Structure 1
Amino acid sequence: MNQQDTPVILITGAARRVGAEIARTLHAAGAHVVLHYRQSAADAEALAAALNAQRRDSATTVRADLKEDGAPEGVVDTILARHGRLDALVNNASSFYPTPLGRIDAAAWTDLIGSNLKGPLFLSQAAAPALRECRGAIVNIVDIHAERPMKNYPVYCVAKAGLAGLTRALALELGPEVRVNGVSPGAIDWPEDGQFPADERDAIVRHTLLGRIGSPTDIARTVRFLIFDAPYITGQILAVDGGRSAHL
Structure 2
Amino acid sequence: MSEYSPPPVILITGAARRVGAEIARVLHAAGATVVLHYRSSAAEAEALAGELDARRPGSATPVAGDLNDDDAPEAIVAATLERHGRLDAVVNNASSFFATPIGSIDTAAWNDLVGSNLKGPLFLSQAAAPSLRERRGAIVNIVDIHAERPLRDYPLYCVAKAGLLGLTRALAVELAPEVRVNGVSPGPIDWPEDGQFGPQQRDEIIAHTLLGRVGSPADVARTVRFLLFDAPYVTGQIIAVDGGRSAHL
What's the TM-score once normalised by structure 2's chain length? 0.98
Residues in 2 aligned to 1:207 and 1:88: alpha-carbon distance in whole angstroms: 34
Q: Per-residue deviation at 1:119?
A: 0.2
Instruction: Say whether residues 1:182 and 2:186 are aligned partners.
Output: no
Instruction: Say whether residues 1:133 and 2:129 are aligned partners.
Output: no
Per-residue CA shift, 1:64-107, capped at 9, x if unaligned?
Answer: 00011011011001111111100000000000000000011110
After TM superposition, the structure 1 = structure 2 runs for residues 7-156 of structure 1, keeping only pairs within 5 Å, are 7-156=8-157
- 4+ long deviations beyond 6 Å: none
SS in 2 for 1:5: coil
Structure 2 residue runs without a partner (length 5+)? none
After TM superposition, the structure 1 = structure 2 runs for residues 193-232 of structure 1, keeping only pairs within 5 Å, are 193-232=194-233
AA of the residue aligned to 1:218: D
Q: Per-residue deviation at 1:3?
A: 9.3
AA of the residue aligned to 1:140: N
AA of the residue aligned to 1:111: D
Q: Per-residue deviation at 1:5?
A: 1.7
Structure 1 residue runs without a partner (length 5+)? none
Residues in 1 aligned to 2:225 and 2:45: alpha-carbon distance in whole angstroms: 20
Q: Per-residue deviation at 1:2?
A: 10
Report the aligned-residue RMSD: 1.2
Residues in 2 aligned to 1:3 and 1:238: alpha-carbon distance in whole angstroms: 25
SS in 1 for 2:163: helix
Per-residue CA shift, 1:91-148, capped at 9, x if unaligned?
Answer: 0000000000001111000000000000000000000000000000000000000000
What's the TM-score once normalised by structure 1's chain length? 0.99
Residues in 2 aligned to 1:4 and 1:222: alpha-carbon distance in whole angstroms: 23
Residues in 2 aligned to 1:70 and 1:172: alpha-carbon distance in whole angstroms: 25
Per-residue CA shift, 1:151-189, capped at 9, x if unaligned?
Answer: 000000000000000000000000000000000000000
AA of the residue aligned to 1:121: L
Specify the alignment match of 2:170 in structure 1.
169
Aligned residues: 248
Q: Per-residue deviation at 1:4?
A: 5.0
